[in-house]
Amino acid sequence: MDTNDYYPFGMSFLKGSQATLYDPLAIPYNYKYNGKELQETGMYDYGARFYMPDVARWISVDPLAEKYRRWSPFNYGMNNPIRFIDPDGRGTEDWVKRGNQIFFDSEIKNQEQATAKYGENASHLAEGSSITTKENGETTSQYTFHDDGTITNADGSQKGSKETFETKGGTTIIGTESKGTSFTFGVNGVLGGGFGIDIGLIKDSGNNWGLFFNRNINVGFGGDLGVGMGIITPTHSGPFLLSDYSGESKSINGGIETPFGGIGGAYGGTFDSKSTPLQMINPLNVGAGTNGYIEAGRSPIQPPSLKAGGGLYLKRSKTSVWDF
């Protein structure tokens, strides 16, 4: 048996029975730092690259290094390992095409990941992929997508991944800072426990519209009857899409009623279905999930009442969405 102590950058020092390394009947355990195999040369085999721990550098060229001429062929993940993961040396692609929409998702590196997160009709776009619009045989627009989140136009100008715009060919490029909007009519009541429904319209980051229906289970005291609006912010690495709104969510709702009318507010979003009771009632514990989101700012306007009062309750919703 041998024991290794690890030093900066994966350098190791063998202690214990060093004789086993020279025993022809012994099989030393060479999978060490990060579970990678230590070679006789002193380098670790990372599959697409070899790593030298004594100088903390890669010493082999990536298979697709010619596609990244702006970067050294010996670096990793465009010299940004915190943002990019590139286990096979074949790129750090982040763009996804679904239908007539294209958007940037920093977690998507291959087709398998794109399909798992966005469905069978999602296509992963590699570095240098482009869409071209032609009229009468002449190119009127061309956009080329890069792994660093930028888009190059045919005239050489660049756009960032934050912008939302539509190409002349009808393709929508969804910006990462675009948010969704909901317009709701709700009827909810609760006295300790209760039920309710919400129905309304929803618009995603790509300006697509849909109809949604909520079936709610409520806990607390109060209720609401009225209309409102919410702003939806994605908590995952991609934009907010209509499909993200389908499923389970929770929200904390509060409001007051007066003879002159009432107003209320809500804050919520997706949550972990394995949450403990204390985590469920925590209004800040929202936004979890692969396609998570947070919804805030909804203010149901309630009709005038013969009495003054208020309420506060937790709502757990099951949502169905139909796109137009």
* 166-220 per-position pLDDT tens digit: 888 888 999 888 899 999 988 888 999 999 999 999 999 989 999 999 999 999 9
What is the Cα–Cα distance from 44 to 34, expressed in whole angstroms? 9
**Which residues have C-beta within 8 Å of that of residue 217, sequence separation ≥ 6?**
193, 195, 315, 316
- As a whole number, mean pLDDT of residues 227-233 equals 90
According to the model, what pLDDT value does residue 86 have? 64
Tokens of 161: 């991944």
The better pLDDT of the pair 56, 101 is held by 101
Would you say the pTM of this structure is higher than 0.85?
Answer: no
Query: Average model confidence (pLDDT) for the chain?
Result: 81
Between strands 172-174 and 101-104, the pairing is parallel
Model confidence at 22, in pLDDT bands (50, 70, 90)? very low
- Strand 172-174: give its sheet, edge to edge: 122-125, 95-98, 101-104, 172-174, 165-166
Model confidence at 321, in pLDDT bands (50, 70, 90)? very high
CA angle 277/227/183 to nearest 5° reads 85
Model confidence at 235, in pLDDT bands (50, 70, 90)? very high
User: What are the domain boundaries of the chain?
Assistant: 2-58, 95-174, 180-323
- Give, in order, the Cα–Cα distances in Å from 228 to each of 47, 161, 181, 234, 307: 54, 31, 11, 20, 22
